[in-house]
Amino acid sequence: MSSMAHAFGKLDFEDLNWETRKYKKWQAYGDSKIANLYFTYELQKKLGNGTSGVTVAAAHPGWTATELQRHTP
């Protein structure tokens, strides 16, 4: 699962767990979403780009019909 928040993701491979820099929750969220996409791309490559019969997909759920955003205007 990813999100459009991947657009502001900027992974710091020297500090993936935000141990040495000031933690910023929205930046960390964006980082996690871009990391999900990187993982998806790499998994697809390792599975042979479609030759394995396994489909690898990433999704942005958007405003789905759930109660998740019930308090969002």
Residue-wise pLDDT for 16-33, tens only, equals 999 999 999 999 999 999
Where does residue 53 fall: left (phi above 0), alpha (psi -120 to 50 degrees), or beta otherwise? left
Catalytic (active site) residue 29: yes
Question: What confidence tens digit (pLDDT) does each residue in 27-67 have?
Answer: 999 999 999 999 999 999 999 877 888 888 888 877 667 77
Are the CB atoms for 58 and 43 separated by under 8 Å? Answer: no
Count structural domains, the chain.
1
Provide DSSP, 9-57: ----TT-TT-SSS---HHHHHHHHHHHHHHHHHHHHHHTTTTTTS----
Domain that holds residue 22: 1-73
Which of 23, 29, 38, 41 is catalytic? The answer is 29
**Entry pTM:** 0.75
